[in-house]
Amino acid sequence: MHRDTAHLRLRQISVTFGDTTAVAPFDLEVAHNEFVSLVGTSGCGKSTLLNVVAGLIPPTSGTVTLGGHPVGGPGRDRGMVFQKYTLFPWLTAAQNVEFALRDKPDLPRRERRAEALDLLRQVGLGGREDAYPDQLSGGMQQRVAIARALSYRPEVLLMDEPFGALDALTRRVMQDLLTQLWEQHRLTVLFVTHDIEEAVYLSDRVIVMSGTPGQLRREIPIALPRPRNRDLASDERYREACAEAYEEIFTAADTALS
């Protein structure tokens, strides 16, 4: 796979809420088309970090650049998928996707609709475009949320435990969907999760974070072949990567307790 130099770059990002430091100075680089996961126990600052990249939380210090340009507040160059179900309940699935395309002057209403329907088909929701969120299961709602985030073609897709509220089986289906979308759209993804297998399965690189304040513990490159499928579970390298991440997190937890 062709990769440019760093596309998304975090330099010395720290976040302080009042007296508590949520994230200690943190550096991270994500290349074009790279899939990077941040894993760690809850409270390790991984979601905070993602929110900084999204522009929803201003960093206390440090800079975020995307494609060389500094990132201020939120913007359409970054797409976000949240853990909670964030579809607008008064809009149908298609309208929720169209909502993200409303202010594009070059896109007439009809094409907007066509675009939304196409995206819904891609996330496996063809035929459900007129369903309201309360008529869709949690997994389906997250599919719509992903379609919405992809609709305006952000340069990087930020995902904050997007499958965290789903049951284990649905989560696996969604992971497969995401890898397929990633391969097809050549996405750059920064993914936050506390599920190590999920991170290893999806990523090119797993960043293990720990502690309060959150900091980078270890970077684990995942040199597994793509396209990936569930056969990986028996792959030695997959198991090693998972074990390495687990060990890192548990030793971090031990040092924190001792």
Partner 1 sequence: MTNLVGQDRDSTVGLSRPTPRVPRRPGRFRRTASTAASVTSFFVLLGAWWLITELKWVDKLFLPNPAAVLTRLGELASGGELGEDLGVSVYRVGVGFTLATVLALPLGILMGRYRLWAAVFEPVIDFIRYMPVVAFVPLTILWVGTDDGQKFLIIFIGTFFQQVLLFTDNVRHIPQELIDVGRTLGLSHRRILQRIVVRASAPALWDSLRVSLGWAWTWLVVAELVAATSGLGYRITIAQRYLATETIIGYLLVLGLLGLATDQILRRLGALMFRTATPHK
Which residues make up the interface to partner 1 (CB under 8 A)?
A: 54-56, 73-76, 78-80, 82, 84, 86, 88-90, 99-100, 102-103, 118, 121-128, 131-140, 143, 152, 165-167, 169-170, 173-174, 176-177, 180-181, 184
Greatest Cα pair distance in the chain: 62
In angstroms, what is the minimal distance from the CB of 212 to partner 1?
A: 23
Cα–Cα distance measured from residue 255 to residue 258, given in angstroms and rounded to the nearest whole number: 5
In angstroms, what is the minimal distance from the CB of 99 to partner 1?
A: 8
In angstroms, what is the minimal distance from the CB of 119 to partner 1?
A: 9
In angstroms, what is the minimal distance from the CB of 128 to partner 1?
A: 7
Residue 152, token pair as written in the block: 């305006």
Cα–Cα distance measured from residue 235 to residue 107, given in angstroms and rounded to the nearest whole number: 46
Q: Which is nearer to partner 1, 174 or 196 (CB)?
A: 174
| Tokens 């924190």 sit on residue | 256
Residue 169, token pair as written in the block: 């089986």
Closest-CA residue to 161 (of 63, 83, 45) = 83
Q: Which is nearer to partner 1, 20 or 184 (CB)?
A: 184
What is the CB-side half-sphere exposure of residue 198 using CA atoms within 13 A? 26
Residue 65, token pair as written in the block: 């650049």
**Angle formed by the axes of helices 168-185 and 138-151, to 10°?**
20
In angstroms, what is the minimal distance from the CB of 187 to partner 1?
A: 14
Q: Which is nearer to partner 1, 33 or 92 (CB)?
A: 92
Q: Which is nearer to partner 1, 15 or 206 (CB)?
A: 15
According to DSSP, the residues that pair with 37 across neighbouring strands are 191, 206
| Tokens 């569930």 sit on residue | 230
Q: Are 8 and 36 in contact (CB under 8 A)?
A: no
Q: Which is nearer to partner 1, 70 or 74 (CB)?
A: 74
Cα–Cα distance measured from residue 52 to residue 54, given in angstroms and rounded to the nearest whole number: 5
In angstroms, what is the minimal distance from the CB of 158 to partner 1?
A: 8
Q: Which is nearer to partner 1, 131 or 232 (CB)?
A: 131
Q: Which is nearer to partner 1, 72 or 221 (CB)?
A: 72
In angstroms, what is the minimal distance from the CB of 37 to partner 1?
A: 20
What is the CB-side half-sphere exposure of residue 171 using CA atoms within 13 A? 16
**Rounded CA Rg of the chain:** 18
